[in-house]
Amino acid sequence: MCALTDPAASIPYDQAEVQQARRDALGWWIPLLGDAFVCLATLALDEARCGGAITVTRESLGAEDGPFARLFPATTVRTDDCCPVQGSAGPVLERYAGVAWPGGRFADPLRRSRA
């Protein structure tokens, strides 16, 4: 996991550094991980700001070597909370924060019904 604890230290997704880290993840990081790769996800603070990234692997391969470690401090965490699943039928690279593909919205647990 590569992430910052201070939301003010986030980086806009449009910044060249974030886009290059994404290109590097697709170009060499994921292929380098091979069969150990489970998933990679960026941590969105909102629709415009990136706060880090999580790479899930079946074996410890050194998060400090990943492309997002150039932007955010890397930490390795062992957990049984993640597992491989079947791939999505929809877009696998882009999601709009808070909106489920192909449409609709995830429930907001803080929003109360006004009935």
Rounded-to-integer distance, Cα 43 and Cα 1, Å:
10
**Which domain does 25 fall in, by range?**
2-70
The helices-and-strands tally (H runs, E runs) of the chain is: 2, 4
Contacts 24+ apart (CB under 8 A), 84-91: 84/38, 84/39
For residue 32, give the H/E element and its range.
helix 30-33
Rounded-to-integer distance, Cα 4 and Cα 80, Å:
23
Number of domains, the chain: 1
Instruction: Report yes or no on 8 lying in a domain.
Output: yes
Instruction: Report yes or no on 89 lying in a domain.
Output: no
CA-wise closest residue to 39 among 59, 60, 13, 57: 57
Q: pLDDT band for position 115 (50/70/90)?
A: very low
Instruction: Report yes or no on 97 lying in a domain.
Output: no
The rounded percent of the chain whose pLDDT value lies above 70 is 74
Q: pLDDT band for position 11 (50/70/90)?
A: very high
Instruction: Report yes or no on 59 lying in a domain.
Output: yes
Instruction: Report yes or no on 82 lying in a domain.
Output: no
The rounded percent of the chain whose pLDDT value lies above 90 is 17
Instruction: Report yes or no on 88 lying in a domain.
Output: no
The string of pLDDT tens digits covering residues 47-70 is 888 888 988 888 877 777 889 999
Residue with more model confidence, 8 or 38: 38
What pLDDT score was predicted for residue 85?
A: 75
Instruction: Report yes or no on 20 lying in a domain.
Output: yes
